[in-house]
Amino acid sequence: MKKKALVISNMYPGRISQTFGIFVKNQVEALRKKGMDIDVAVVKDPRMGKKYVLRKYGKWMLQILVKLLFKGRQYKLVHAHYVFPSGFFGLLFKKMFGAKLVITAHGGDIDKMPKKSPVIYKQTKRILQQADHIIAVGEALKDEMVHEFGVDETKISLMSMGVNRNVFAPVDQTQARETLGLTADQKMLLFAGNIIEAKGLLELTKAFQRLKQDDETLQLHFVGHPKEEGFFEKLQNYVKSEAIQNVHFHPAKPQKEVALWMSAADVFVLPSYIEGFGLVAVEAMSCQTPVVGSDVGGLSYLLKNEAGVLVQPKNVDSLTEGVKKVLYNDEIREQLLINGEQKAKLNDEDHLTDRLHEIYEQIGAN
Protein backbone atom coordinates (compact mmCIF):
# COMPACT_ATOMS: atom_id res chain seq x y z
CA MET A 1 0.00 0.00 0.00
CA LYS A 2 1.30 3.47 -0.92
CA LYS A 3 1.99 5.76 2.00
CA LYS A 4 -0.50 8.57 2.18
CA ALA A 5 0.33 12.28 2.36
CA LEU A 6 -1.70 15.40 3.09
CA VAL A 7 -1.05 18.83 1.58
CA ILE A 8 -2.39 21.81 3.53
CA SER A 9 -2.47 25.23 1.85
CA ASN A 10 -4.38 28.49 2.17
CA MET A 11 -4.02 28.98 -1.59
CA TYR A 12 -5.26 26.55 -4.25
CA PRO A 13 -7.10 26.89 -7.59
CA GLY A 14 -10.84 26.42 -7.66
CA ARG A 15 -14.06 27.52 -9.35
CA ILE A 16 -13.58 31.22 -8.56
CA SER A 17 -9.94 31.41 -9.67
CA GLN A 18 -8.00 28.85 -11.69
CA THR A 19 -4.70 30.60 -10.92
CA PHE A 20 -4.96 31.14 -7.13
CA GLY A 21 -2.03 29.15 -5.71
CA ILE A 22 -1.65 27.27 -9.01
CA PHE A 23 1.98 26.51 -8.12
CA VAL A 24 0.80 24.38 -5.17
CA LYS A 25 -1.58 22.38 -7.36
CA ASN A 26 1.14 21.94 -10.00
CA GLN A 27 3.45 20.44 -7.38
CA VAL A 28 0.72 18.15 -6.04
CA GLU A 29 -0.05 16.88 -9.54
CA ALA A 30 3.65 16.37 -10.30
CA LEU A 31 4.06 14.32 -7.09
CA ARG A 32 1.01 12.24 -7.93
CA LYS A 33 2.59 11.44 -11.30
CA LYS A 34 5.58 10.13 -9.33
CA GLY A 35 3.21 7.67 -7.62
CA MET A 36 2.37 9.47 -4.39
CA ASP A 37 -1.10 9.19 -2.84
CA ILE A 38 -1.98 12.75 -1.80
CA ASP A 39 -5.04 14.33 -0.21
CA VAL A 40 -5.45 18.10 0.01
CA ALA A 41 -7.04 20.41 2.59
CA VAL A 42 -7.01 23.81 0.93
CA VAL A 43 -8.57 27.26 0.54
CA LYS A 44 -9.87 27.82 -2.99
CA ASP A 45 -11.34 31.31 -2.64
CA PRO A 46 -9.00 34.29 -3.27
CA ARG A 47 -11.56 36.90 -2.26
CA MET A 48 -10.80 39.15 0.68
CA GLY A 49 -13.18 41.05 2.93
CA LYS A 50 -14.57 39.97 6.29
CA LYS A 51 -17.48 37.86 5.04
CA TYR A 52 -15.32 35.93 2.57
CA VAL A 53 -12.43 35.43 4.99
CA LEU A 54 -14.63 34.11 7.80
CA ARG A 55 -16.47 31.74 5.47
CA LYS A 56 -13.47 30.35 3.60
CA TYR A 57 -11.27 29.87 6.66
CA GLY A 58 -14.14 28.29 8.58
CA LYS A 59 -14.70 25.84 5.74
CA TRP A 60 -10.96 25.15 5.56
CA MET A 61 -10.68 24.39 9.27
CA LEU A 62 -13.65 22.03 8.98
CA GLN A 63 -11.89 20.18 6.14
CA ILE A 64 -8.79 19.78 8.28
CA LEU A 65 -10.76 18.68 11.34
CA VAL A 66 -12.58 15.97 9.34
CA LYS A 67 -9.27 14.65 8.00
CA LEU A 68 -7.71 14.80 11.45
CA LEU A 69 -10.54 12.82 13.05
CA PHE A 70 -11.21 10.24 10.35
CA LYS A 71 -7.96 9.86 8.41
CA GLY A 72 -5.25 11.29 10.68
CA ARG A 73 -3.47 7.99 11.29
CA GLN A 74 -3.18 7.31 7.56
CA TYR A 75 -0.89 10.24 6.85
CA LYS A 76 2.83 9.54 7.14
CA LEU A 77 3.60 12.99 5.76
CA VAL A 78 1.97 16.41 5.96
CA HIS A 79 3.30 19.12 3.64
CA ALA A 80 2.09 22.60 4.61
CA HIS A 81 2.41 25.56 2.27
CA TYR A 82 2.87 28.85 4.15
CA VAL A 83 4.16 28.67 7.71
CA PHE A 84 1.16 30.18 9.50
CA PRO A 85 -1.60 29.15 9.64
CA SER A 86 -1.06 26.06 7.42
CA GLY A 87 1.95 24.85 9.41
CA PHE A 88 0.03 25.27 12.66
CA PHE A 89 -2.52 22.71 11.45
CA GLY A 90 0.27 20.49 10.15
CA LEU A 91 1.74 20.36 13.66
CA LEU A 92 -1.51 18.81 14.94
CA PHE A 93 -0.95 15.76 12.72
CA LYS A 94 2.67 15.56 13.83
CA LYS A 95 1.80 15.78 17.54
CA MET A 96 -1.20 13.45 17.45
CA PHE A 97 -0.13 10.82 14.94
CA GLY A 98 3.62 11.18 14.43
CA ALA A 99 3.37 12.36 10.82
CA LYS A 100 6.49 13.95 9.38
CA LEU A 101 5.95 17.66 8.76
CA VAL A 102 7.44 19.55 5.80
CA ILE A 103 6.84 23.30 5.48
CA THR A 104 7.30 25.40 2.36
CA ALA A 105 7.86 29.08 3.18
CA HIS A 106 6.81 31.29 0.28
CA GLY A 107 7.72 34.82 1.39
CA GLY A 108 5.03 36.80 3.14
CA ASP A 109 4.71 34.09 5.78
CA ILE A 110 8.28 34.93 6.91
CA ASP A 111 8.83 38.62 6.23
CA LYS A 112 5.27 39.93 6.62
CA MET A 113 2.88 37.69 8.58
CA PRO A 114 4.98 37.38 11.79
CA LYS A 115 5.06 41.17 12.10
CA LYS A 116 1.28 41.32 12.46
CA SER A 117 1.29 40.31 16.12
CA PRO A 118 3.54 38.81 18.84
CA VAL A 119 1.29 35.73 18.88
CA ILE A 120 1.80 35.03 15.15
CA TYR A 121 5.54 35.65 15.52
CA LYS A 122 5.73 33.15 18.38
CA GLN A 123 3.70 30.55 16.48
CA THR A 124 5.80 31.04 13.33
CA LYS A 125 8.98 30.41 15.31
CA ARG A 126 7.48 27.34 17.00
CA ILE A 127 6.27 25.84 13.71
CA LEU A 128 9.61 26.38 11.98
CA GLN A 129 11.61 24.89 14.83
CA GLN A 130 9.36 21.83 15.20
CA ALA A 131 8.98 20.99 11.50
CA ASP A 132 10.97 18.00 10.25
CA HIS A 133 12.11 19.88 7.16
CA ILE A 134 11.62 23.33 5.66
CA ILE A 135 11.76 24.43 2.04
CA ALA A 136 12.60 28.07 1.37
CA VAL A 137 11.72 29.29 -2.11
CA GLY A 138 14.37 32.04 -1.92
CA GLU A 139 17.76 32.64 -0.34
CA ALA A 140 16.62 35.71 1.60
CA LEU A 141 13.90 33.63 3.27
CA LYS A 142 16.40 30.97 4.29
CA ASP A 143 18.71 33.58 5.81
CA GLU A 144 15.84 35.13 7.77
CA MET A 145 14.69 31.77 9.12
CA VAL A 146 18.19 30.98 10.36
CA HIS A 147 19.04 34.38 11.85
CA GLU A 148 15.63 35.71 12.92
CA PHE A 149 13.87 32.50 13.97
CA GLY A 150 16.83 30.36 15.05
CA VAL A 151 16.11 27.47 12.67
CA ASP A 152 18.79 24.81 12.19
CA GLU A 153 20.24 25.51 8.73
CA THR A 154 20.74 21.80 8.05
CA LYS A 155 17.00 21.19 7.89
CA ILE A 156 16.33 23.93 5.32
CA SER A 157 16.44 23.25 1.58
CA LEU A 158 16.53 26.06 -0.96
CA MET A 159 14.14 25.19 -3.77
CA SER A 160 11.53 26.99 -5.86
CA MET A 161 8.15 25.51 -6.75
CA GLY A 162 9.44 24.79 -10.25
CA VAL A 163 8.34 25.67 -13.77
CA ASN A 164 6.55 23.31 -16.12
CA ARG A 165 8.67 23.86 -19.21
CA ASN A 166 6.17 22.04 -21.39
CA VAL A 167 3.65 24.77 -20.58
CA PHE A 168 6.04 27.73 -20.32
CA ALA A 169 7.79 27.14 -23.62
CA PRO A 170 8.82 29.81 -26.14
CA VAL A 171 6.54 30.56 -29.07
CA ASP A 172 7.51 32.76 -32.01
CA GLN A 173 6.56 36.32 -31.00
CA THR A 174 4.73 37.12 -34.23
CA GLN A 175 2.75 33.89 -33.99
CA ALA A 176 1.93 34.50 -30.31
CA ARG A 177 0.67 38.01 -31.04
CA GLU A 178 -1.39 36.82 -33.98
CA THR A 179 -3.01 34.15 -31.79
CA LEU A 180 -3.82 36.76 -29.10
CA GLY A 181 -5.05 39.31 -31.61
CA LEU A 182 -2.26 41.78 -30.82
CA THR A 183 -0.52 44.20 -33.15
CA ALA A 184 2.71 42.78 -34.54
CA ASP A 185 4.71 46.00 -34.89
CA GLN A 186 4.33 47.49 -31.38
CA LYS A 187 6.62 47.03 -28.37
CA MET A 188 4.90 45.36 -25.43
CA LEU A 189 5.43 45.38 -21.66
CA LEU A 190 3.71 42.68 -19.62
CA PHE A 191 2.85 42.07 -15.99
CA ALA A 192 1.10 38.85 -14.94
CA GLY A 193 -0.07 38.13 -11.40
CA ASN A 194 -2.43 39.43 -8.75
CA ILE A 195 -3.37 43.08 -9.26
CA ILE A 196 -2.31 44.41 -5.86
CA GLU A 197 -0.45 47.53 -4.72
CA ALA A 198 2.56 45.59 -3.40
CA LYS A 199 3.40 44.43 -6.93
CA GLY A 200 4.43 48.00 -7.80
CA LEU A 201 1.89 48.37 -10.58
CA LEU A 202 1.24 52.07 -10.12
CA GLU A 203 4.98 52.68 -10.47
CA LEU A 204 4.98 50.49 -13.58
CA THR A 205 2.15 52.55 -15.07
CA LYS A 206 4.04 55.79 -14.36
CA ALA A 207 7.23 54.37 -15.89
CA PHE A 208 5.26 53.33 -18.97
CA GLN A 209 3.78 56.83 -19.15
CA ARG A 210 7.31 58.29 -19.31
CA LEU A 211 8.59 55.76 -21.83
CA LYS A 212 5.61 56.38 -24.08
CA GLN A 213 6.60 60.03 -24.47
CA ASP A 214 9.55 58.87 -26.60
CA ASP A 215 7.98 55.76 -28.15
CA GLU A 216 4.35 55.82 -29.23
CA THR A 217 4.53 52.14 -30.22
CA LEU A 218 4.57 50.99 -26.59
CA GLN A 219 1.78 48.92 -25.07
CA LEU A 220 1.32 47.85 -21.43
CA HIS A 221 -0.70 44.76 -20.56
CA PHE A 222 -1.78 43.59 -17.11
CA VAL A 223 -2.96 39.98 -16.86
CA GLY A 224 -4.32 38.90 -13.50
CA HIS A 225 -6.99 38.88 -10.83
CA PRO A 226 -7.79 42.26 -9.17
CA LYS A 227 -7.34 40.94 -5.63
CA GLU A 228 -7.48 44.43 -4.12
CA GLU A 229 -10.56 46.09 -5.65
CA GLY A 230 -9.75 49.49 -4.14
CA PHE A 231 -6.27 49.53 -5.62
CA PHE A 232 -7.51 48.23 -8.97
CA GLU A 233 -9.96 51.15 -9.13
CA LYS A 234 -7.16 53.57 -8.17
CA LEU A 235 -4.93 52.19 -10.93
CA GLN A 236 -7.66 52.43 -13.55
CA ASN A 237 -8.55 55.96 -12.44
CA TYR A 238 -4.91 57.03 -12.80
CA VAL A 239 -4.79 55.71 -16.36
CA LYS A 240 -8.02 57.57 -17.20
CA SER A 241 -7.14 60.84 -15.45
CA GLU A 242 -3.75 60.97 -17.17
CA ALA A 243 -5.25 59.88 -20.50
CA ILE A 244 -2.56 57.20 -20.93
CA GLN A 245 -3.13 55.30 -24.15
CA ASN A 246 -2.52 51.58 -24.77
CA VAL A 247 -2.82 50.34 -21.19
CA HIS A 248 -4.86 47.14 -21.16
CA PHE A 249 -6.28 45.09 -18.27
CA HIS A 250 -7.07 41.40 -18.79
CA PRO A 251 -8.57 38.88 -16.34
CA ALA A 252 -6.51 35.99 -14.96
CA LYS A 253 -5.76 33.38 -17.61
CA PRO A 254 -4.95 29.65 -17.61
CA GLN A 255 -1.20 28.98 -17.49
CA LYS A 256 -0.94 27.94 -21.13
CA GLU A 257 -2.44 31.28 -22.17
CA VAL A 258 -0.21 33.23 -19.75
CA ALA A 259 2.76 31.55 -21.41
CA LEU A 260 1.51 32.78 -24.78
CA TRP A 261 1.28 36.34 -23.43
CA MET A 262 4.85 36.02 -22.17
CA SER A 263 6.09 34.92 -25.58
CA ALA A 264 4.25 37.87 -27.15
CA ALA A 265 5.89 40.41 -24.80
CA ASP A 266 9.15 42.28 -25.34
CA VAL A 267 9.74 42.67 -21.58
CA PHE A 268 8.20 41.04 -18.53
CA VAL A 269 8.13 43.45 -15.57
CA LEU A 270 7.81 42.49 -11.90
CA PRO A 271 8.33 45.69 -9.84
CA SER A 272 7.28 44.20 -6.48
CA TYR A 273 7.82 45.78 -3.08
CA ILE A 274 8.33 42.30 -1.61
CA GLU A 275 8.86 38.92 -3.31
CA GLY A 276 9.77 35.58 -1.73
CA PHE A 277 11.11 34.12 -4.96
CA GLY A 278 9.38 35.40 -8.09
CA LEU A 279 8.38 32.18 -9.85
CA VAL A 280 6.47 34.12 -12.51
CA ALA A 281 9.78 35.72 -13.53
CA VAL A 282 11.27 32.27 -14.17
CA GLU A 283 8.17 31.36 -16.17
CA ALA A 284 8.86 34.39 -18.39
CA MET A 285 12.52 33.35 -18.72
CA SER A 286 11.35 29.88 -19.73
CA CYS A 287 9.37 31.56 -22.54
CA GLN A 288 12.53 33.38 -23.66
CA THR A 289 11.27 36.78 -22.50
CA PRO A 290 13.70 39.09 -20.64
CA VAL A 291 12.76 40.23 -17.14
CA VAL A 292 12.99 43.50 -15.24
CA GLY A 293 12.33 43.14 -11.51
CA SER A 294 12.78 44.86 -8.16
CA ASP A 295 15.92 44.34 -6.13
CA VAL A 296 14.02 42.73 -3.25
CA GLY A 297 13.81 39.30 -1.60
CA GLY A 298 14.22 36.35 -3.93
CA LEU A 299 14.33 38.55 -7.02
CA SER A 300 17.65 40.01 -5.86
CA TYR A 301 19.19 36.54 -6.17
CA LEU A 302 17.16 35.33 -9.13
CA LEU A 303 17.98 38.25 -11.44
CA LYS A 304 21.60 38.87 -10.42
CA ASN A 305 24.56 38.16 -12.73
CA GLU A 306 22.63 39.44 -15.77
CA ALA A 307 19.81 36.92 -15.54
CA GLY A 308 17.53 39.95 -15.49
CA VAL A 309 17.67 43.69 -14.85
CA LEU A 310 17.31 44.72 -11.20
CA VAL A 311 15.71 48.06 -10.31
CA GLN A 312 14.99 49.82 -7.05
CA PRO A 313 11.50 49.15 -5.60
CA LYS A 314 9.01 52.05 -5.45
CA ASN A 315 11.33 54.05 -7.73
CA VAL A 316 9.80 55.17 -11.03
CA ASP A 317 13.11 56.60 -12.31
CA SER A 318 14.98 53.34 -11.74
CA LEU A 319 12.15 51.28 -13.24
CA THR A 320 11.98 53.50 -16.32
CA GLU A 321 15.70 53.17 -16.96
CA GLY A 322 15.67 49.41 -16.37
CA VAL A 323 12.89 48.81 -18.89
CA LYS A 324 14.55 51.15 -21.38
CA LYS A 325 17.77 49.09 -21.23
CA VAL A 326 15.98 45.91 -22.18
CA LEU A 327 13.77 47.45 -24.85
CA TYR A 328 16.47 49.28 -26.78
CA ASN A 329 19.81 47.57 -26.12
CA ASP A 330 20.12 44.41 -28.20
CA GLU A 331 23.37 43.34 -26.54
CA ILE A 332 21.81 43.43 -23.04
CA ARG A 333 18.71 41.66 -24.34
CA GLU A 334 20.73 38.82 -25.82
CA GLN A 335 22.69 38.29 -22.59
CA LEU A 336 19.48 38.25 -20.54
CA LEU A 337 17.96 35.60 -22.79
CA ILE A 338 21.02 33.34 -22.48
CA ASN A 339 21.26 33.65 -18.69
CA GLY A 340 17.50 33.47 -18.24
CA GLU A 341 17.41 30.14 -20.04
CA GLN A 342 19.97 28.77 -17.57
CA LYS A 343 17.79 29.91 -14.65
CA ALA A 344 14.77 28.23 -16.23
CA LYS A 345 16.70 24.95 -16.55
CA LEU A 346 17.72 25.08 -12.88
CA ASN A 347 14.07 25.54 -11.88
CA ASP A 348 12.62 22.82 -14.09
CA GLU A 349 9.61 21.25 -12.35
CA ASP A 350 10.58 17.64 -13.11
CA HIS A 351 14.03 18.05 -11.58
CA LEU A 352 12.69 19.80 -8.47
CA THR A 353 9.93 17.23 -7.97
CA ASP A 354 12.61 14.53 -7.83
CA ARG A 355 14.50 16.59 -5.24
CA LEU A 356 11.36 17.00 -3.13
CA HIS A 357 10.72 13.27 -3.30
CA GLU A 358 14.26 12.69 -2.03
CA ILE A 359 13.63 15.05 0.90
CA TYR A 360 10.54 13.06 1.87
CA GLU A 361 12.61 9.87 1.83
CA GLN A 362 15.44 11.41 3.84
CA ILE A 363 13.12 12.34 6.71
CA GLY A 364 11.49 8.93 6.64
CA ALA A 365 8.13 10.04 5.28
CA ASN A 366 8.11 8.02 2.09
4-162+348-362 fold: Rossmann fold (3.40.50)
Query: Domain map of the chain by residue range?
Result: 4-162+348-362, 173-346
Number of residues assigned to the chain: 366
Best CA proximity match to 103, nearest among 163, 59, 165, 145: 145
How far apart CA 231 and CA 246 sit, in angstroms, is 20
What separation, in Å, do the N-terminal and C-terminal C-alpha atoms of the chain show? 12
At 101 the pLDDT is 98
DSSP string, 123-144: HHHHHHHHSSEEEESSHHHHHH
* Cβ–Cβ under 8 Å, residues 81 and 160: no
pLDDT at 250: 97
Amino acid at 61: M
HSE-CB at 168 with a 13 A cutoff on CA atoms is 27
Side-chain-side CA neighbours of residue 207 (13 Å): 27
pLDDT of residue 1: 45
Tell me yes or no: is domain 173-346 CATH 3.40.50.2000.
Answer: yes
**Full pLDDT tens readout for the chain, 366 residues:** 467 999 999 999 998 888 889 999 999 999 999 899 999 999 999 888 888 999 999 999 999 999 999 999 999 999 999 999 999 999 999 999 999 999 999 988 998 899 999 999 999 999 999 999 999 998 889 999 999 999 999 999 999 999 999 999 999 999 999 999 998 889 999 999 999 999 999 999 999 999 999 999 999 999 998 988 899 999 999 999 999 999 999 999 999 999 999 999 999 999 999 998 999 999 999 999 999 999 998 899 999 999 999 999 999 999 999 999 999 999 999 999 999 999 999 999 999 999 999 999 999 876
**Single pTM value for the model:** 0.88
- The reply to whether domains 4-162+348-362 and 173-346 share a CATH topology is yes
Give the per-residue pLDDT at 149.
Answer: 96
Secondary structure of residue 113 in the 3-state scheme: helix
Question: What per-residue confidence (pLDDT) applies to 366?
Answer: 60
Its sign, for the CA torsion 161, 124, 364, 76, is negative
Cβ contact 168:283 at 8 Å: yes
- CA distances from residue 269 to 105, 141, 297 in whole angstroms, order as listed: 24, 22, 16
- The candidate with the shortest Cα–Cα distance to 106, out of 155, 144, 152, 141, is 141
